[in-house]
Structure 1
Amino acid sequence: MRVFFILFRKEFKNYFLTPFGWVILGLVLLMQGMSMTSAMERMKDAPLSENFLLVSLSAPNFWFYFLFIFPLLTMRLFAEEEKTGTLETLM
């Protein structure tokens, strides 16, 4: 478990010492803010019984964003593993 935290800290630093990590973080926050604003706009005029439906319909947007964000973050890791020849060990 100790090795995991060492690797996690190293990769976390690598992401946020470069502009790439900050751009991805900014995009995620922007998309989540737009999704939340849209949900709140729809909820302000809806009756209370429909608010749960509106919130549950906006929840899939969260997972849709991560469908694209996680691959963006892991592409570099897979490229490094393939370059060093340790990708087969992970698979």
Structure 2
Amino acid sequence: LALHQVVLTEISSWLDGRFTENELFSVSFPDSSTVLLAPKDQAFANLIEKIELKLADQQGLLDRVTIIEGPGATTVMSFSNRVLNQNIPTTSFTQR
């Protein structure tokens, strides 16, 4: 669960296009719609082999995030029905 939390925390940076400003991952671009992230730290690399981001045609959106944790251990997050910058009424939020 903690690994997925790391990835989810990083997604906002990735959506802003900040792939190379990451201390945790080295970045490569095998094609125009794919970003590959590999952990820089060996201890972290023992937990996550690599992460593949599939970029959507629309800027600022991802189609898919694939986390390869090792042989036979893969997590895929696919995104559909995405809406970018939709107005959300303030009444939808509660203050605590």
TM-score tier after normalising by the smaller chain length: under 0.3
Q: Work out which structure has the larger RCO, using CA pairs closer than 8 Å and 6 or more positions apart in sequence.
A: 1
TM-score where L is the length of structure 1: 0.26
More strand by share: 2
Q: Pick the structure with more helix per residue.
A: 1
The structure having more radius of gyration, on CA atoms, is 1
Report the TM-score, using the length of structure 2 for normalisation: 0.25
